[in-house]
A and B are shown apart, each in its own frame.
Chain A
Amino acid sequence: MNSGIAINGVGVVGGFGYGISALGLALKRPERFTENVTIQTSDGPHTVPVYLADTSQLTNYLPKRALRRIDHYSRMALLGAFLALEDAGELESDRKRMGVIIATGYGALHTSFDFMDSVIDFGDPLASPTLFSNSVHNAAAAHVSIFLKATGPSLTVSQFEMSIPSALISAVSWLEQGRVDSVLFGGVDEYCDVLGYCLHQFFGYNGNDIKPFDFERQSAIAGEGAAFFLLSRSKKTDSSYGFIENVKVSSMVNGEPVIPEGSILFIGADGHVQCGRRYERFLSEDLPLTAYSPLYGSMPVGPGFDMAVAALSIRSGRLFVIPDNMGIKNQSKSELITQKIDSRPIYCLKIGPGGGYGMIALTSIK
């Protein structure tokens, strides 16, 4: 598949801040973007780092009053959506032929548990209808469509780590078939205390830094955020953020992913040992290779952030060097990524714990 679908705008919010400028700054001056939160564990309360997203800037686009009943999950999606449209210069455009596609691994976690709180605290007959209706995974897409008056098709996909590449296949398909003129495409996932408890029960305490290239040690740190893109079919041969060259979702049952020679590879390793080891073989291939999870954290829609970094790299014409403390084993790889991108495609590869994988390839030329 060579879709020729252009990325016209990018909107991101995460632990690093909000907007493409904040992401660019974070890439140039990486630091620790986590905050400490206290979680309940079987050994008592623990303080752990988490990448948290601040959505207060959403009031730049919507009045506070309109946001009263909008939860954090939908606010992150809304902020990502507005930022992507603004970045594309399309805040004021007509959206009758714009589709909305949102990927999420876990959906509105806070609201789902808040709804159960209402049942447990007040009894079945007094469960909260507002919390229930906002707990569905497609609540974010609904709010995006309502606030943006987007009356085209809407799709929400939940495929854990494969949510982004899986949903992107549908976005490309809609555009190729002419169903819509543009797609506001994004991923969103949120952190909550219960998730923190679950991660601690499964993986224990993992330290303060994600080490994506340390395949022997669990170092994942939970993150939350949203990464959105305005996509369209383009007649032009150039696009500042590049084009989607290829999207593939498959399983290693039928063979390992193949990255074409001459490509650049972003691996989605985010400190999970079980998945991380599956990336190890790519270190021995002669590919410029890097990982950016230490900027945004570990979450199912992480590939959306890799896609945003790839788009920004294409716009900049060169890759962003990640610091050594992120756990690169092979220094020559680090040197390789200082090269210019030129016309080489960037492959964003995510491998799931079950052996499923997703690949998104961006290129600067159509």
Chain B
Amino acid sequence: MKPGNPVAVSGIGCLCAQGINLSACMDSVFNRRQKPAPPVGFSSSHPVSYPVFEILTDLDLSGLDTKKEILRTSQLALIAAQDAIVDSGLTPELLAKKKVGVCIGTTVGSALNNEEFYRSYREGKHPDMLPIKRFLNSNPASCIAEEFKLSGPCQTVVNACSSGSDAIGTAASWIRSGVCDIVLAGGADELSRITYNGFISLMITDSKPCRPFDRNRNGLNLGEGSAILVLESESTLHEREQKSRAFIYGYGSASDAYHLTAPKPDGEGLRKALSEAMAASGVAAGDIAFINAHGTGTRDNDRVEGNVIGTVFQSIPFFSNKGYTGHTLGAAGAIGAAFTIACLENQRVPANAGFKEEDPELSISPTTFPSEISGSFAVSESLAFGGNNAVLVLGKERL
């Protein structure tokens, strides 16, 4: 694949357990670090309480027009989208004049699985239809398009845990091919009892704060949040004399075609995705300043991913933000991309939270303390159920 034109990122909105916007998140990551705790939003009957990264502040929807009952996932997406639009300097008038698309990754936000409704249905009662109406109102991409009166294509990507990265990569292709002038792209997911029980049933959830790439890692912590990036064509950006914050240089994705939940042991799918993303970016591996790994803290993910990073990038610094955000599923790739851009802007990467002891199965180890970096490019990785692998190559400036 020939390198394509880098696609500008003109605005970012991000919220997760570390903060309600990207600068608050980064401040917390480098200075305080919110730790995971047992879920507050729901209860469970597990004998062990598995900690989660939950947003505990009330969501502020006061600046939004929406009056519909919508899922928390879409509320998170709307808040991040609004912040991203403000950050980009785009006005409603400008948005109305342009072909503006929306591409959002999610998992919980697309699932028809309201537990209260279903329990009532099973008992032969006649449950109120409000949860179903709420679900039908809540397609994250449509919610954003309706709120900001956007008329371009809408796409909700449901590629499990790589959805956010895939949504950003897809959106970049829409800009490159002229389908859109601007795309709001990212991911959103809320904590849910369904996914909480599901991940615990798979025995890949840690009862302690997660420890990505650590020898004694024992699983992931779930989290919630959203990140939305405003992607913009060069001509639109030029027309309004706006500077970009970053660029999407490359995107690659590939399927393991191996197992529904486990990554292929030799990492072939991830290598293929990396190869495509790097080729599309035109950036050499040696020019990558750091890697924001998927690094969930599960035995399998970190072994496969760590070994691929070690082979492809050797000694380039890497970390996973999951020790700060938890695994935010459909939002993970987007939050990872937002954190990566913030690190490029600050020329600084955080410690890989939770890492203490090197894993002899891995040839490399993540960052153990906040470090200065120097360079213009970074890689953000996502691996997912279904064997999806997605990689973004991000840059802070146009070459």
Interface residues of chain A, those whose CB is within 8 Å of chain B, are 1, 40-42, 100, 104, 106-107, 109, 112-113, 115-117, 119-120, 123-129, 132-139, 141-143, 145-146, 148-160, 162, 166-167, 169-170, 173-174, 176-179, 194, 197-198, 201-202, 248-251, 253-254, 354, 356
Contact = CB atoms under 8 A, between A and B. Distances in A.
A142 B177 contact: no
Interface string B251-266: 0111111111100000
A251 B260 contact: no
A142 B162 CA distance: 13
Contacts of A176: 177
A177 B173 contact: yes
11 contacts: A107-B112, A115-B194, A125-B46, A136-B386, A137-B107, A138-B159, A138-B388, A145-B386, A173-B179, A177-B4, A177-B176
A129 B388 CA distance: 19
Given A41-B126, A119-B115, 11 more contacts: A42-B126, A116-B119, A117-B122, A133-B385, A136-B107, A139-B385, A142-B388, A151-B268, A160-B142, A178-B1, A198-B132
A142 to B, nearest CB: 3
B156 A157 contact: yes
A133 B154 contact: no
B210 interface: no
Interface string B141-178: 11001100111111111111000001000100110110
A179 B177 CA distance: 13
Contact of B156 (A109, A123, A158, A169): A158
Given A145-B387, A153-B253, A112 B197 contact: no
Interface stretch (B72-80, B86-94, B200-208, B225-233): B200-208
A112 B111 contact: yes
A142 B154 contact: no
Contact of A151 (B124, B141, B257, B385): B257
A138 B115 CA distance: 21
Interface of B: 1-2, 4, 44-47, 107, 110-113, 115, 118-119, 121-122, 124, 126, 129, 132, 136, 139, 141-142, 145-146, 149-160, 166, 170, 173-174, 176-177, 179, 194, 197-203, 252-261, 268-269, 272, 276, 384-388
A159 B257 contact: no
A124 B197 contact: yes
Among A137, A160, A197, the one with the most B-chain Cβ atoms within 10 Å of its Cβ is: A137
A134 B155 CA distance: 22
B112 A129 contact: no
A332 to B, nearest CB: 34
Contacts of B158: 104, 107, 136-138, 156-158
B17 to A, nearest CB: 22
B202 to A, nearest CB: 5
A173 B174 contact: yes
Nearest to B101: A249
Contact of B160 (A106, A120, A138): A138
A133 B260 contact: yes
Given A113-B118, A139-B260, A170 B200 contact: no
Contacts of B202: 129, 132-133
A139 B111 CA distance: 13
B173 A159 contact: no
A133 B156 CA distance: 20
B43 to A, nearest CB: 9
Contacts of B110: 107, 137, 158
Contacts of A107: 110-112, 158
Nearest to B137: A354
A53 to B, nearest CB: 19
Contacts of A116: 113, 115, 118-119, 194
Among A116, A155, A167, A251, the one with the most B-chain Cβ atoms within 10 Å of its Cβ is: A155
A170 B260 contact: no
A159 B141 contact: yes
Give 8 closest A-B pairs by Cβ, nearest first: A142-B386, A132-B198, A254-B151, A137-B158, A249-B153, A42-B126, A153-B253, A129-B201
A82 B340 CA distance: 40
